[in-house]
């Protein structure tokens, strides 16, 4: 370093966006057979187009599964976590398909 230059300190952030986990997701269901599955939507990108396809595939693979359409639940945005969790609990859901991403 030359005598007329000054040192610069840079702080570099992790570009991966990694964060510490504070809560883990629930364990995966071993099977969807005989289960009640909720569809939860963000109501932001063509859910009325994609969920029927997802539902059709799930019903063909697990004909005894009960699937509750996303239209039976509030959107995942604009509602409190507690209200959404209560709606899911009241419906007796064993699992959920959550979508759609824009």
Q: Helix H segments across 1-102?
A: 47-61, 81-90
- 46: domain range? 36-99
Residue 19 lies in a domain: no
pLDDT at 92: 92
Residue 91 lies in a domain: yes
Give mean pLDDT, residues 73-90: 84
Residue 3 lies in a domain: no
Residue 17 lies in a domain: no
The answer to whether 97 and 47 are in contact (CB under 8 A) is no
Residue 76 lies in a domain: yes
The answer to whether 84 and 26 are in contact (CB under 8 A) is no
pLDDT at 101: 59
Give mean pLDDT, residues 28-54: 88
The structural domain count of the chain equals 1
Residue 24 lies in a domain: no
- 20 has pLDDT over 60: yes
């Amino acid at each position: 370093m030359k005598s007329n230059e000054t040192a610069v300190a840079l702080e570099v952030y992790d570009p991966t966006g990694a964060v510490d986990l504070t809560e883990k997701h629930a364990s995966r269901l071993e099977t969807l057979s005989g289960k009640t599955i909720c569809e939860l939507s963000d109501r932001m990108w063509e859910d009325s187009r994609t969920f029927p396809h997802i539902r059709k595939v799930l019903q063909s693979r697990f004909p005894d599964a009960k699937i509750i359409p996303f239209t039976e639940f509030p959107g995942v945005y604009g509602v409190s976590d507690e209200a959404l969790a209560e709606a899911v609990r009241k419906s007796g859901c064993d699992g959920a398909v959550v979508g759609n991403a824009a």
